[in-house]
Amino acid sequence: MAEVLFFLTAIATLGGAVGVIALRNPFYSVLALVVHLISLAMLFLLLRAEFVAAAQVIVYAGAVMVLYVFVVSYVGGSEEPIGVGPSRGFRVASVAFGGALFLVLAIAILGSGLKAIDSQGAPYVSGFGSPGAIGKLLLTDFLLPFEVASFLLLVAAVGAVTLARRRGGLETPGELATYSALDFLRPAGTGTMAEGVGGRRRLPAATPESGTEDARA
């Protein structure tokens, strides 16, 4: 039973991964990635890592991929691929780099000895992979990487908010315009959405006129 399930999910995992890069339509690519991530969660389940499987589905399929689907279905759901194909030299280089990466990974995996394939593999200890065990590991052995990762996510969140504010449209009426030194160092024509629709503009201090515009929009 476990073997049948393993091969079914393994085929789905690999199929999803190939689909991501092989499919022309970006929307189908994203869906293939969803299939891949959910099959990967099933593989985790077969390894009795219930918590990791649930986290995989909730975080990746439930949050990250939702944003992907959101964006792609807005801008790229058409049958035509986006943009022109890569040039010939670029393709050769990408194959070379891909091959090099595969070689490195193959050496690393072979170097681990693949002991589990012939023998029984590591024995299952009761409680392994349970939320409690993972929490204990995260707060003892892996405390520093855990905190660094959370700090990284915090920086990303702050960065996202900053970028969204710079593009305008988020300021409430009556809010004072804020200027950053970077605004003056930045070359004209780079970045803001206001510039995209009509020349370089500073963030406008909210005037009654712009307030009514917002209300109409």
Partner 1 sequence: MNPSFAVVSYYEPWWIQILKAVVIFAIILQLQPILIVGERKLLGRFQGRYGPNRVGPYGLATPLADVIKLATKEQFRPDTSIGWMFALAPIISVVAAIGALSIIPFGDTQDIFGTQVGLYGLDVSIGPLFVFAMGAVAFYGIMLGGFSSGSKYSFLGAMRAAAQLISYEVSQGLALVGVVMTAGTLSLTEIVHAQQGMWYVIPQFLGFLIFLVASFAETNRAPFDLVEADAEIVGGYFTEYGGTRFTSYLFAEYINMCVVSLIMVTVFFGGWLLPFGINPPGWLDPFIVLGKTSVFLVFFIWIRATLPRVRYDQLMSFGWKVLLPLATLNTLVTAIVLVATD
CA distance 128 to 131: 9
Please state, in angstroms and rounded to a whole number, the distance separating the CA atoms of residues 165 and 170. Answer: 6
Can you state the percent helix, strand and coil of the chain, rounding each to 5?
70, 0, 30
Min CB(53)–partner 1 separation in Å: 8
Is the four-CA dihedral 104, 107, 110, 112 of positive or negative sign?
negative
Binding flag, residue 34, partner 1 (CB under 8 A): yes
Cβ distance to partner 1 smaller for residue 74 or 184 = 74
Considering the complex, what minimum distance in angstroms separates the CB of residue 50 from partner 1?
Answer: 5
DSSP state at residue 176 = P
Q: Between 58 and 93, whose beta carbon lies closer to partner 1?
A: 58
What is the maximal distance between C-alpha atoms in the chain? 76
**Tokens read off for 91:** 């393709």
Q: In angstroms, give the least distance from the CB of 172 to partner 1.
A: 11
The length of the chain is 217
Question: With contact defined as beta carbons under 8 Å apart, do 39 and 57 qualify?
Answer: no
# residues contacting partner 1 (CB under 8 A): 26
Give the separation between CA 56 and CA 67, rounded to whole angstroms: 15
- Does 126 interact with partner 1 (rule: CB under 8 A)? yes
Q: Between residue 47 and residue 86, which ones bind partner 1 under the rule CB under 8 A?
A: 50-51, 53-55, 57-58, 61-63, 66-67, 69-70, 73-74, 77
User: Per CB under 8 A, does 158 bind partner 1?
Assistant: no
The contact pattern for partner 1, residues 5-24, with x = CB under 8 A and - = no contact, is --------------------
Does 131 engage in binding with partner 1 (CB under 8 A)?
A: yes
Does 38 participate in binding partner 1 (rule CB under 8 A)? Answer: yes
Residue 27 touches partner 1, criterion: CB under 8 A: yes
HSE (CB half, 13 Å, CA atoms) of 173?
9
Q: Which two tokens stand for residue 17?
A: 């991964």
Q: Which residues bind partner 1 (CB under 8 A)?
A: 27, 31, 34, 38, 41, 50-51, 53-55, 57-58, 61-63, 66-67, 69-70, 73-74, 77, 126-127, 130-131
